[in-house]
Structure 1
């Protein structure tokens, strides 16, 4: 399928989930992430803040856990059409962007380029790690700017069941996909 078709299909599937279903599935995804990766104190995690009105994975569960475990948390913010990384803390102030995304008030880029994990938003991921997002390309550019050792991890309610036909040469595949039932690796034994 083409990305545009996949985007439409999976936005509809996600929209069909009730608030309770989305939260319960998000909890399962969170537990699978923690059990598989076992993040440790002092590690650095870059994680998106969910747009709950779009039924995105509730990563606030992840963020709360990371902060309690003294795992450093960085979140994206779009400034001048560029994704920057801002480190957040329990007392960080947030405001809602024009896109409806809660973002830190600060525009100070952390300058970090190495993260142990980058938890990536998406609408769909195929069984090769190719992702379909909202089509703005922010994460492909972001992946090019960070260390090649970063674990790029997608989170999704749905397992891969169809191929993306129009993958572009600049698309950067994920290393892992975490769903409510599985953690899939696309590294082909390179771990």
Structure 2
């Protein structure tokens, strides 16, 4: 399937899902996530979910419980360069909506976490394939960012839907996932 077709299909599927369905799927994804062999980590880069995305709050809470000194960072996007920074956040960090409605931590005096210091990344996606390649929203923010993380950084996608056979129009700069967690199974690549 081509990325453009996948974006259309999976955006429609997510819009059609009810809040109750998404809430149940979020719970099932957390259960699946808890079975992953996550080593001792010190830094997590995750996203604050928009309305139709997998809720990452329970996953961040779970990882923080398992690793009490865990530092958690969230993306702040630059829409001129299609890049992003990992901004360290706490429970007290205020979040604002960017121009696309994505929650981001406020930058006032924020500390930036360099990509090479990140141990685990939780990524948003619309869909993914059996080889671990994801389809995002089409701006390349995450692939650009992931090109700077360490090779041993664990990359985990979260999806309400199972894998496609293949994304046919992958680019050389697309970075594959190590795992993708769905409500019904965990894929390892």
Say whether the fold is shared (TM-score over 0.5). Answer: yes
Asked if structure 1 preserves the Cα contact closer than 8 Å seen for 2:115 and 2:148, the reply is: no
Q: Aligned match of 1:60 in 57, 60, 65?
A: 57
Q: What is the Cα deviation at residue 7 of structure 1?
A: 0.7
Q: What is the Cα deviation at residue 48 of structure 1?
A: 0.9
Q: Aligned match of 2:152 in 124, 149, 153?
A: 149
Ranges in structure 2 where 5+ consecutive residues have no aligned partner:
none
Separation (CA, whole Å) in 1 of partners of 2:86 and 2:46: 10
Instruction: Provide the aligned C-alpha RMSD in A.
Output: 1.7
Separation (CA, whole Å) in 2 of partners of 1:7 and 1:123: 7
SS of residue paired to 2:116: coil
Ranges in structure 1 where 5+ consecutive residues have no aligned partner:
187-191
1:26-105 aligned at under 5 Å gives the runs 26-38=26-38, 43-52=42-51, 55-69=52-66, 70=68, 71-79=70-78, 81=81, 82-105=83-106
Separation (CA, whole Å) in 2 of partners of 1:161 and 1:144: 24
2:118 pairs with 1:115 = yes
Q: Aligned match of 2:134 in 125, 128, 131?
A: 131
Asked if structure 2 preserves the Cα contact closer than 8 Å seen for 1:85 and 1:111, the reply is: yes
> How many positions carry a matched residue from both structures?
183
Separation (CA, whole Å) in 1 of partners of 2:5 and 2:161: 16
Which piece of structure 1 moves more, 11-20 or 30-39?
Answer: 30-39
Separation (CA, whole Å) in 1 of partners of 2:63 and 2:87: 15
Which piece of structure 1 moves more, 137-146 or 101-110?
Answer: 101-110
Asked if structure 2 preserves the Cα contact closer than 8 Å seen for 1:66 and 1:72, the reply is: no
Q: What is the Cα deviation at residue 58 of structure 1?
A: 0.8
Question: CA offsets, 1:90-148, max 9 Å, x none?
Answer: 11111111111111112542224232211011001000011100000011111111111
Q: Any runs of at least 4 consecutive aligned residues in structure 1 with deviations exceeding 4 A, and if so which?
A: none
Asked if structure 2 preserves the Cα contact closer than 8 Å seen for 1:2 and 1:166, the reply is: yes
Q: What is the Cα deviation at residue 162 of structure 1?
A: 3.0
- Which position in structure 2 is the counterpart of 1:14? 14
